[in-house]
Amino acid sequence: MKWLFLLLVISNIGVFGWFNFVAINKEVAAEPVYAPPVSQKILTLSEVPKVVKKPEPTAKQIEFKAVEQELREITDAFEQLSSLDANQMYCPHIEFEKEQDKRAFLPQIDALGWQYIESKMEGERQKFWLYISAPDTREQANRVVRALKVRDIDSFIINRGEMKNRISLGLYSVAVTAEKERLRISDLSGFDVRVYPHLRKVPLSVIEISQGINESEWKKFIGQINFGKMMIKLEKNPC
């Protein structure tokens, strides 16, 4: 019985070994090491493509990209605003302090064929008053006025209030002109001439352009105005 059992075991081992051997041979035949598929290219080590890793951007590159994007956005916004300005229509508002300035200015508007509305109003304007401080007595003030008259400098004495006996030398609308006169009178007379800047209510003539003009017409219009010779206030008002 023992021998029979041993023979059965040996036979089972033999059958198991045979099937394993057949399976190995089938696997080798199915994919031999020495015969790869014809569609697969054999590469040597030197021919294998190298995978190049893309370098990470530096902090400066990231910052530059951010600034570049911000500038692009600002440029786009500016172009949009420029487009809006090109389509905007304006009705300028012009104020004249002096009547002669208005008379000299109106022919320019008439030549352009623009329609306008004329009116009157009262407004505040900065003025510059030149004066010499009040001496102690009225007689001293009279002597100052006589000394100025000899040098063809117009003046008068104020008779009332806190400014009594102060010598007035004139009122100016432009700061540069007032300063030039202050220096001139001081040099001629030897007196200490002072400037008092203040706001004063004055009557104004107003011209309202009722016909809308575009940006190009506005630029051409203001390019013709000599602001140094006329006391005017010009506002670029949208219609």
pTM > 0.75: yes or no: no
- Is 146 part of a structural domain of the chain? yes
Q: Supply the range of the domain harboring residue 115.
A: 93-235
Contacts of 235 by beta carbon, 8 Å cutoff, 6+ apart? 92, 93, 94
- The verdict on residue 116 lying in a domain is yes
Domain membership of residue 47 (yes or no) is: no
Predicted confidence at residue 16, as pLDDT, reads 46
Residue 68 lies in a domain: no
- What pLDDT score was predicted for residue 43? 53
Tens digit of pLDDT at every position of the chain (239 positions): 444 444 444 454 454 444 444 444 444 444 444 444 555 555 555 555 555 566 777 766 666 677 667 666 666 655 555 555 567 899 999 999 999 999 988 998 888 889 999 999 999 999 999 999 999 999 999 999 999 999 999 999 998 888 899 999 999 988 999 999 999 999 999 999 999 999 999 999 999 999 889 988 888 888 877 776 778 888 988 98
d(CA 134, CA 158): 9
Identify whether 46 is part of a domain.
no
Domain tally, the chain: 1
Contact 186, 192 (CB under 8 A): yes
Task: Write the CB contacts of 114 (distance below 8 Å, at least 6 apart in sequence).
Answer: 209, 211, 213
Retrieve residue 51's tokens: 């995978």
CATH of the domain at 161: 3.30.70.1070
C-alpha closest to that of 155 among 178, 146, 127: 146
Residue 237's alpha-carbon distances to 61, 91, 113, in angstroms, are 45, 5, 19
Residue 195 is assigned to a structural domain of this protein:
yes
Question: Rounded CA gap, 130 and 171, in Å?
Answer: 6
- Which of 222, 165, 79 has its CA nearest to residue 156? 165
In a domain, 229, yes or no: yes
Residue 203 has phi, psi (to 5 degrees) of -75, 140
> Considering the domain boundaries, does residue 82 fall inside one?
no
